[in-house]
């Protein structure tokens, strides 16, 4: 009888520990879910801040009809050449759309194509740079003269 009584208490104690273990497991799962949600919010705020920092540095390009531009040659990255330019052209802008779509025409063979505005940069001619406005910088520094004492 005494042996049966001890076995009964041992089984009862194990069953109580299973219930407590199950409750503790549920609490740990809930804590894990809270930690996961907090990490998601933290990463979302980090991404938003990084996007703001990146977007501040982006300069909006504005193009006008008749303007001369260079076109980025995206195929040049597959066949890199050390001294080969990645910009081809010059091209003339014929039409500018709202969402960055630009129609350009090659000056040499008069072929037309529609490209994204991000693939273009302005073509500067020699007359576009005003030499009078440029600051003249001298790289020669006058050395002090020393007299013999």
The pLDDT score that the predictor gives to residue 127 is: 64
The pLDDT score that the predictor gives to residue 112 is: 93
Contact 68, 91 (CB under 8 A): yes
Tens place of pLDDT per residue across the chain (149 aa):
455 566 666 766 666 666 777 788 888 899 999 999 999 999 999 999 999 999 888 877 888 899 999 999 877 566 666 777 888 888 999 999 888 899 999 988 999 999 988 889 888 876 666 555 555 555 555 555 666 65
The SS3 of residue 123 is coil
Q: Per CATH, is 68-127 categorized as 2.30.30?
A: yes
Contact 112, 103 (CB under 8 A): yes
Rounded-to-integer distance, Cα 20 and Cα 45, Å: 38
Which pair of tokens denotes residue 97?
A: 């759309």
How many CB atoms are located within 10 Å of the residue 33 CB? 10
């Amino acid at each position: 009888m005494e042996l049966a009584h001890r076995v009964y208490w041992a089984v009862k104690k194990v069953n109580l520990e299973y219930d407590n273990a199950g409750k503790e497991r549920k609490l740990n799962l809930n804590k894990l879910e809270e930690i996961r949600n907090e990490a998601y919010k933290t990463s979302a705020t980090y991404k938003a801040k990084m996007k703001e920092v990146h977007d501040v540095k982006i300069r909006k390009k504005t193009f006008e009809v008749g303007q001369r531009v260079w076109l980025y040659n995206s195929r040049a990255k597959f066949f890199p050449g050390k001294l080969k330019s990645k910009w081809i052209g010059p091209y003339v802008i014929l039409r500018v759309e709202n969402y960055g779509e630009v129609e350009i025409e090659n000056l040499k063979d008069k072929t037309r194509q529609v490209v994204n505005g991000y693939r273009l940069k302005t073509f500067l001619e020699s007359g576009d740079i005003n030499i009078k406005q440029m600051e003249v910088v001298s790289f020669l520094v006058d050395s002090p003269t020393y007299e013999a004492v």
